[in-house]
Amino acid sequence: MHDLVFLERDPFSPIRYIYRVSGILYCGKSKYQEIQVFESPDFGKMLVLDGVVQLTERDEFFYHEMLAHVILHAHPNPRTVLIIGGGDGGTLREVLKHNSVERVQLVEIDRQVIETSKRFFHELAGGFSDPRVHVKCTDGTRYVRQARGPFDVVIVDSTDPVGYGKRLFIDQFFADILSILNETGMFVIQTESLHFHRKFVADVQIRLGRLFKIVELYCVSLATYPGNWWTFSIASTKYPVAAQNRKQEVITKYYDEEIHKKAFVPSSLRRKLLDCNLDW
């Protein structure tokens, strides 16, 4: 195929991204969304949901490592982990690297995302066969309302906050997560770009601050998510999170102790963000 391109339709981005495409591996539609898998000469295989790039083989590790390892190294002994979303398996793969982890509950609304990843993304989906993993295909907001827990760590690996995704950013959902964390529990959620979605980031930080003792914000630069200055909101009921609270034993491509520390948004900038006092 020549001259074939994919024009992303990110509903949140003022810049539209175009990728070269060398093959169309899958186009389908689940009950919840369009699912596409493209082959890119630049990024390897790409998973696209509702027209938005969710991951590329080449750079997915930045996102998945930063989502999983910051919280799992901030927590002194994570044994039980709940992942909401993350049906591609990338976050699960990183979580399972931790020997302390005894049980992972993954709750993905769309079974077809998991099936698509198992079929096309073997580097990501290997964790689904790990005996520590339990998968439930249901609405994550309903799950946390009814789950007994408690969990040491909850990770929300969601799509953008549009359509169904919106429900994973409301107060009730955050309160339900707090209620299923144990007394040293921690929670992390991806919260979009500091370039393009600053008010959204500030809003989530403020609302989490009403529930949790400790709330922080950290970032990684992602080439394939428009806005790219990607944020993660992390909340803790007891221990601080901005540095490792235990020694790193897992092997990573990007994440390490120094990156953990440097990823946290400087306190001056975070203060200005929360005060809506950024002069941009």
194 binds its own copies (CB under 8 A): yes
97 binds its own copies (CB under 8 A): no
Which position among 1, 2, 3, 14 is part of the footprint of its own copies (CB under 8 A)?
A: 14
Give the whole-angstrom CA distance, residue 188 versus residue 171.
Answer: 14
Give the whole-angstrom CA distance, residue 251 versus residue 114.
Answer: 24
3 binds its own copies (CB under 8 A): no
Question: Helix or strand or coil: residue 64?
Answer: helix
227 binds its own copies (CB under 8 A): yes
262 binds its own copies (CB under 8 A): yes
193 binds its own copies (CB under 8 A): yes
In the residue annotation, 157 being an active-site residue is answered as yes
Specify whether the CB–CB gap between 84 and 156 falls below 8 A.
yes
Q: Residue 49: which of 67, 33, 38 has the closest Cα?
A: 33
12 binds its own copies (CB under 8 A): no
DSSP string covering 155-195, please? EEE---SSGGGGGGGSHHHHHHHHHHEEEEEEEEEEEEETT
Of 50, 110, 152, 157, which is the active-site residue? 157
Sequence-separated contacts (24+) of 165-170 with Cβ below 8 Å = 167/139, 167/140, 167/141, 168/84, 168/85, 168/140, 168/141, 169/204
Amino acid at 49: L
Which position among 223, 243, 245, 249 is part of the footprint of its own copies (CB under 8 A)?
A: 223
| Stretch 40-59 residues interacting with its own copies (CB under 8 A) | 40, 42-43, 58-59
Q: How far is the CB of 98 from its own copies (least distance, A)?
A: 19
Stretch of 35-43, 164-172, 181-189, 238-246 contacting its own copies, by CB under 8 A: 35-43
196 binds its own copies (CB under 8 A): yes
Active site residues: 157
Task: Give the interface with its own copies as residue ranges (CB under 8 A).
Answer: 5, 7, 14-20, 40, 42-43, 58-59, 61, 193-196, 219, 221, 223-224, 226-229, 253-254, 256-259, 262, 264, 266-269, 278-280
